[in-house]
Structure 1
Amino acid sequence: MIDHFGINSADFERATKFYDAVLSVLDYERQMDVGQAVGYGTQGKPDFWVEDASGREVGAPVHFAFTAPSAESVQAFYHAALAFGVEPLHEPRIFSEYHPNYYGAFVRDPDGNNVEAVFHGGAPAPTG
C-alpha cells in the first residue's frame, strides 16, 4: 500500500550511519544519495528515506517497522542498534499479542523514532 516514506533527521550524518548499520543486516542498502537525503531499499528502489533537517523541526517521533528476512536478522538488527548506542525498547522476542509467530525487536533511532525489525515466521530455532 505504501510506496515509500521518509523521516527528517536533526543529525543527518549520525542517522545515516545508524541506518547503514541496522538496515544492512536486514538486506536493505542505500539505493540513492541525493545530498540532503538518502534512500534505502532493495533492487534499486528506495522505499525508506532519511532527510537532512539540520536547523529545522524534525517533528514528533513515529513508529515504523522493517520486514526482516529471518529471526536471526531481527537479533542482528537489535545488536547492531545497541552497538551504535541507541536506546533499547524491546529485545527480540515473540509478541503473541500480535500473532503467534510475530518475532520482533524495537529500538529508538538517533532522532527518537521507535524503529522495529519484525519477522513473521517465529523465533529462531533453539541452539545446543
Structure 2
Amino acid sequence: MLDHVALQCDDLGVSRRFYERLLAPLGITVAMEFEGVLGLAGPDGFPRFWLGRTQGGVQREVHVAFAAVDRAAVDQIFATAREMGAEVLHEPREWPEYHPGYYGVFVRDPDGNNVEAVTHQ
C-alpha cells in the first residue's frame, strides 16, 4: 500500500552497508544515488525505500516492515542481523496477535530504527 518510505540517518555510509547486507535476502539493492540520498529497490527495480542524511535535530524511532517471500527469508534476515552485530528486538516467530501466519523478525538499525521482515504465510 505504501509507495515509498524515507529514513534519515546520521552516517549514510554505515546505513548503506547495514541495509544492503541486511536486505540482500529479499533482493533489495541500491538502485539510485544522488546528492546524499540513496534509493533502494526490490526485484521490480522501483526505489521504494530511501535513505538520506539527517538534516539536524533529534531523530525519533521509525518502524518499517519489509515483505519476505517466506519464513526462510525472515530467518535469513535474522541470521544476517546477528552476523552484523545488530540488536535483535524480537527473534523470528509467529505473531498470532496480528493474525495467523504472521511471521516476523524485528531488529534495530544503526540509527535506532525498528526494522522488520515479515511474511504472511
TM-score per shorter chain, which class? over 0.9
The residue number in structure 2 matching 1:84 is 84
The residue number in structure 1 matching 2:47 is 46
Q: Determine the C-alpha separation between the residues in 2 that align with 1:15 and 1:48.
A: 12
Q: Determine the C-alpha separation between the residues in 1 that align with 2:66 and 2:15.
A: 16
Q: CA deviation at 1:52?
A: 1.8
Q: Which runs of 5+ in 2 are unaligned?
A: none
Output aligned runs, 1:12-91, within 5 Å.
12-42=12-42, 43-53=44-54, 56-57=56-57, 59-91=59-91
Runs ≥4 residues deviating over 4 A: none
SS in 1 for 2:117: strand
1:21 partner letter: R
Q: Determine the C-alpha separation between the residues in 1 that align with 2:83 and 2:28.
A: 18
Q: Determine the C-alpha separation between the residues in 1 that align with 2:33 and 2:78.
A: 25
Q: Determine the C-alpha separation between the residues in 2 that align with 1:21 and 1:115.
A: 13
Q: Determine the C-alpha separation between the residues in 2 that align with 1:105 and 1:32.
A: 27
Q: Determine the C-alpha separation between the residues in 2 that align with 1:64 and 1:10.
A: 17
Instruction: Using the TM superposition, name which of 90-99 and 30-39 deviates more.
Output: 30-39
SS in 2 for 1:7: strand
Aligned pair count reads 120
What TM-score do the two structures reach when normalised by structure 1? 0.88
Q: CA deviation at 1:58?
A: 5.4
1:10/1:58 contact within 8 Å kept? no
The CA RMSD over aligned residues, in Å, is 1.3
2:51 partner letter: V
How far does the alpha carbon of each residue in 1:71-106 deviate from its partner, in whole angstroms, 9 at most, with x for none? Answer: 100011111112111111000010010011000000
1:31 partner letter: A
Q: Which of these two proteins has the greater Rg computed from alpha carbons?
A: 1
What TM-score do the two structures reach when normalised by structure 2? 0.93
Q: CA deviation at 1:35?
A: 4.0
